[in-house]
Amino acid sequence: MSFLTKVTLLFVVFVDLLGQGLVFPIINSLIMEPSTSMLPKDTSDAVRHFNYGLIIGVFFLCWFFGAPYISKLSDVIGRKNAILICLFGALGGYALTIIALYLNSFLLLILGRAITGLTAGNQPIAQAAMIDGSVDDEDRNRNMGYIITGVSFGLVGGPLIGGFLSDPILIGSIASIKLPFYACFGLVAIAIFLVVFGFEDKEDAVAEKQPFVFRPAEIFELLWQITKYPKVMRLTFVFFFFHIANLSFYIFVDNYLTSRFGYGTLGGSMVMLTIGAALAFSSTFLVVPAQKRLSKEAILGITFTVWALSAAAFVASPVAILTFIPVFCFYFVFGIAYPTFLGLYSAAVGDEEQGWVMGVTIAVFTLVAGVISLIGGELIGLDLDLPFYGVIIAAILALAVMFLAWNKPEIKALTRRTGG
C-alpha cells in the first residue's frame, strides 16, 4: 500500500470523525441553551434532554442501517466507490444542516443528521482497505492503530474547528455557529478529490467488473451471518457491553457537563479535545507495544476496570476541571483497546470477509449508540448521573461475559500476545 493511499484513508477517517467531534458540542448548545432559537425558550430541561438524545439517536440509528450494507458493498463495488458514496452523502448532510441553522428548523436538522448517518460508513471501509494492504498480523495491528489515530485527530480537529470558528472572541464578527459546518463541507470536498485521484487498491480492480445491485434486505442478512461464525459471535457478546460502556460515557459527557457545570460550546469542545488527545497518543504509540507485552484479553480486562473507576470518579468530581482526569483516562485505554478488538474481529475471518466483519463492528457500535441515545436522553432527564452508573454496570458485565464466553481454545488462540 502506497504512502499516498494511507494518507488518503486517514484523511477520510479524519473527516468522518471530524463531524462527531464538532457536532456534539454544537448540537448540545443548540438544544440545551435557551438563548438559541432552535427550540422555544420555555422548553423544559427534560424535553431538551430528550430532544438531544433524539437527534443523536437518529444519526446513529441511520448509521446502523447504512454502514453494514455499505461495508459489505465495498467487497463488491470496491473500497473506492463505497467511500465516495459515503463522502457525497456527508456533503449533502452538511448542506442540509447549514440550511436548518439558517431556518432554525429542528426537523431539517434531524433530516441532515439522518442523511449523514446513512452514509457514515467510511471508517469500516478504511479499516478493510488497511487490512487489504497489510503484510502480516503485526502490520495489520499497526494499521488498525493508524485508523484510530485518524479517528482521534478527527475528534481533536472537530472541537478545535468548532470552538474557534464559532467563538466571536477569537475571530470576531465572522464567527457563527454555521461557520464550522461550512468548514466541514469544504473538507469533505477535499476528501472526495483525494479519493478520486489518490486512492487505488486491489479490491477496486476486481470490483469494477461487478454489477451494482441494491437489495435492502441484505442489511439484515449481513447481521444474521454472525450466527454462522462462532468466533465472531463470542467476540460480539463482549463487544456489545464494551460499547454500552463506551457510548453511555461519550454521548452524554457534554450534556452532563453543560447541565451540571454550565459548559457551552467551547467547554464541550475542550472535552472532545481531551478525548481526542488521549486517543491520539495511545492509539499511535502504544497499541503494538501493549499487544507484545500483554494478551489481548488482559488489555481488555484492564480497560473495563479503568472504565468503571473512571466513570465513578467522573460523577464524584466536585469541580468541573477535575472531570477532565477521568475523561482522559477513559479514552487513553480506549485508544489501545479498540484497535485490539478490531484486530480480533479481523483475525476471526478470512481475507474475503474483511469488509463484512468490519461492517459488523460498526453495526454493533451504531445500534448500541442509537438505543443508548434514546434511552439515555430520558435517564439523564431524571438524574444526571444515571448514564454513568450504566457505564460502571456495563464495564463489570463486559468483564464477566469476557471470562465466560472466551473460555474456548479458538478464542484463546486469537487473544494471545502478538509476540507469542
Question: What CA–CA distance (Å, rounded) separates 405 from 171?
Answer: 54
Residue 262: helix, strand or coil by DSSP? coil
Question: What CA–CA distance (Å, rounded) separates 92 from 85?
Answer: 11
Question: What CA–CA distance (Å, rounded) separates 148 from 48?
Answer: 32
Question: What CA–CA distance (Å, rounded) separates 250 from 252?
Answer: 6
Enumerate residues 6+ apart whose C-beta is below 8 A from 129. 5, 9, 79, 201, 203
* CATH H-level, domain 3-199+223-415: superfamily: MFS general substrate transporter like domains (1.20.1250.20)
Q: What is the pTM of this model?
A: 0.79
Question: What CA–CA distance (Å, rounded) separates 316 from 320?
Answer: 11
DSSP string, 92-112: HHHHHHHHHHHHT-HHHHHHH
Task: Compute the Cα dihedral for 130, 134, 136, 141 and give only its sign.
Answer: negative
* Per-residue pLDDT in tens (0 to 9) along the chain, 420 residues: 677 888 888 888 888 877 766 777 788 888 888 877 888 888 888 888 888 889 888 988 888 877 767 766 777 777 888 889 889 999 999 999 999 999 989 999 999 989 988 887 777 787 777 777 777 777 776 776 777 777 777 766 776 787 778 778 778 888 888 898 899 899 999 999 999 988 876 555 444 445 555 566 666 676 788 888 999 999 999 999 999 999 999 888 888 988 898 876 667 778 878 888 898 889 878 988 999 899 999 999 999 999 999 999 999 999 989 999 999 999 999 999 998 998 899 889 987 787 678 778 877 888 898 899 889 888 888 888 999 999 999 999 999 999 999 998 989 988 887 665
Chain centroid to Cα 203, Å, comes to 25
Per the structure block, which three cell numbers stand in for 86?
459515503
